[in-house]
Amino acid sequence: MLDIKLIRNDPEAVKAAVARRGEDTSSIDEIVELDARVRAHMTAVDQIREESNRVSKEIGELYRNGETEKAEALKAGTEGQKENERQHADALAHLQATIRELLLNVSNMPSPEAPDGLTEDDNVVVRVEGYDPDAIADHQRVPHWEIGEQLGILDVDRAVRMSGSMFAMYRGHGAHLLRALISYGLDRNRDAFEEIRPPTVVKTDTMIGTGHLPKFADDAYHLERDDLWAIPTAEVPLTSMVAGEILDQADLPMRLMAHTTCYRREAGSAGRDTRGLLRVHEFDKVELYSFCTPEQAQAMHMEILERAENAIRDLGLAHRVLDLACGDISGAGTRTYDIEVFAPGADRWLEVSSVSWCTDYQARRANIRYRPEGEKGTRFVHSLNGSGLAVPRVWAGIVETYRQPDGSIRMPDVLLPYLGGLTEIPAPV
RNA sequence: GGAGACGUGGCCGAGCCAGGUUGAAGGCGCUUCCCUGCUAAGGAAGUAACGUCGUAAGGCGUUCGUGGGUUCAAAUCCCACCGUCUCCGCCA
C-alpha cells in the first residue's frame, strides 16, 4: 500500500500518479479526510490514557505507603474516564480500519518513466528478437494443441473431463519436456538465486501482503473450510517469507527463486484465449524474486529482466520486450517489462514473463524493513519479481517453433542436459 | 485427532502462582570510548519498533504470540484463537 504520510502531505501528486492508470482516485480524498479525524481521536485517546496512567501510578504508590483512604478517593475520581476513552478508541479503530481498507485498494504509483496509456495497445515495444514472419515455414504453422494431440504429449480433453475447461495434462515426452523446462529455469539462475520451494496454499494475510487480496479475490481459488488460498504465483509466499522482519542491510539484495504450481481462476477472461495452453487455471512457473534497498532496485529490475530474457533467447524463441503502459501495470508495480514469445502455430505473441518493480508497496503491506547502515531507524525494502520461466507458454512456443517438416519436434540444445538422451519428440508412425 | 508443556526485546533467559517506580533483571551479541606493538582478555557507556505532537531538544501513547475481557492499574488474572514442543493415535 501507499505511504499514508505521502498521501497526507501531497494528495494531489499521489492522485495524479495513480490516475495515470485510469484508476478512480476519489478514495484518496476520502483517505485524507478520514486521516485528519483519526489523528484528532488519537490525540484524545492519548491524553486520556496519559492521565489514567498517571493516576494509576499514584494509586499504586499510595497503597504501598498504606494510605488506603487517599487511594480509594482517587479511584472514585476515575469514573467516566473509561467510557470516554472507549468512545474515542472505538471511533479511532473504526476509522483506521476504513482507511486501511481504502488504502489496500489503491494501486501503486506508476514510475514517471512508465509509458502513458491505459490498455495493452499502449505498451511500448522495447525490442524484438528473432521474429521474422516470412521465415516461418508451413510446418511451423500448426498450433500446439493440434501438435500435442498428434504426438500424444498434451491431452486437454481428458484434463477437462477431470477438472473442467482450461486445465491441461501433459503426457510422455510432453511431461518430460515440462520437467526439463523447470530444471532449466532454476539451474541457470543458481549462480545468484537461492532456490525455495514454498507452500502453495496460504493464509488470507499472506495474500494481502502482496496485494492479491482484497482486490483480486475473484481471481484466486479459495479453500473455504480452512480459509486458505491457492497461490496465483510464487511471488505470494516469497514476499511473505520475511513478512514482519527487519533485514540486515548486509543481506541485501536478497535473491530468491522458486518453482511452484500457480493457480488462477481467470475470472475475467472466460472464453478468451482458451485453446490449448494459452490460458490455464493451473501451471508451473519458475519465479525470480528480490528484496533490496531503494538504491539497488533499478539495477535489480534490469538484472531480473535480463535473466528472464536470456532464458528465452537461449531457447531460441522469437520474442519481444514490452515496457508496459501505466494502465497495464499490475497493482503493486511501479514499472513492468513483459516478455512475449511468438508462437508461430497459434500465430500470436504469448506473455511468458512479467518483470515488476514494486518499490516499497508490498513491503509496506507485509511490513518488511531493513536497517540502513549508519542511519537511525528502519526503512521499507523494495521488492521485485519476474517470471524466470512460465512453463506452459514456453512449452507451446517450443513445440510450435521446433516442429520439423516430418511432424517431429527437435529439442532446443540448452534443454538436452535435462532430457536424458531425448533429442526430438518423434512424429507419429 | 487425544493428553500435557510452552510462546518475554537481535538472541538466550528471569519475572507470571501472591496484578502496582518492569519497556521489562541477568547474560550473549552489537556500537562507541579507555587500556593496548598486534590479537585476546579487561574497564566505561550505549543498544527495540511503531504512532502522534514539536523547527528541534524532547514529550506523550502503544507493543511481553494475536484478539477480547476483568481492574484505578495486566508480561502477570480470565476467555478465544494462532503457533511451538513432548507423548499417544493415524499416515505419504
Per-residue pLDDT, A270? 61
Query: Does A13 contact strand B, using a CB cutoff of 7 Å?
Result: no
CA dihedral of residues A261, A265, A271, A276 (deg, nearest 10): 10
CA dihedral of residues A424, A152, A269, A345 (deg, nearest 10): 50
A97 is written with which cell numbers? 480500519
CA–CA distance, A83 with A97 (Å, rounded to integer): 21
Amino acid (1-letter code) at residue A310: N
Task: Reply yes or no on whether the pLDDT at A84 is more than 90.
Answer: no
This prediction's pTM: 0.90
Per-residue pLDDT, A153? 97
Nucleotides of B under 7 A from a protein CB: 10, 20-21, 49-53, 59-62, 68, 72-73
CB within 7 A of strand B (chain A, 375-414) = 376-378
CB A206 within 8 A of CB A237: yes
Residue A74, nucleotide of least CA–C1' distance: B72
A302 is written with which cell numbers? 534490469
Average pLDDT over residues A203-215: 75
CB A424 within 8 A of CB A164: no
Establish whether the linkage from the previous residue to A143 is cis, with ω within 30° of 0.
no
CA–CA distance, A380 with A177 (Å, rounded to integer): 40
Per-residue pLDDT, A272? 66
Query: Does A45 contact strand B, using a CB cutoff of 7 Å?
Result: yes
CB A202 within 8 A of CB A237: yes
- What sections of A112-218 are H helices per DSSP? 144-151, 156-163, 173-187, 204-210
Helix (H, G, I), strand (E, B) or coil at A48: helix
C-alpha closest to that of A146 among A272, A271, A279, A276: A276
Task: Reply yes or no on whether the pLDDT at A184 is more than 70.
Answer: yes
Query: Does A205 contact strand B, using a CB cutoff of 7 Å?
Result: no
Q: Give the CA A3 to C1' B10 distance in Å.
A: 27
Give me chain A's average pLDDT, please. Answer: 91
Task: Reply yes or no on whether the pLDDT at A177 is more than 70.
Answer: yes
**Which own/partner pairs from A235-238 qualify as long-range (CB within 8 Å, at least 24 positions apart)?**
A235/A210, A235/A287, A235/A289, A235/A385, A236/A202, A236/A206, A236/A207, A236/A209, A236/A210, A236/A212, A237/A196, A237/A198, A237/A199, A237/A200, A237/A202, A237/A206, A238/A196, A238/A198, A238/A287, A238/A289, A238/A385
The crossing angle, in degrees rounded to 10, of helices A391-401 and A144-151 is: 80
Query: Does A82 contact strand B, using a CB cutoff of 7 Å?
Result: yes
Q: Give the CA A35 to C1' B85 distance in Å.
A: 44
Q: Give the CA A376 to C1' B47 distance in Å.
A: 12
Residues 6+ apart with CB under 8 A from A221: A229, A230, A263, A265
Residues 6+ apart with CB under 8 A from A103: A1, A2, A4, A31
Tell which wins on pLDDT, A421 or A61: A421
Taking the mean position of all CA atoms in its chain, how far away is CA A106?
A: 15
Query: Does A225 contact strand B, using a CB cutoff of 7 Å?
Result: no
Q: Give the CA A224 to C1' B71 distance in Å.
A: 39
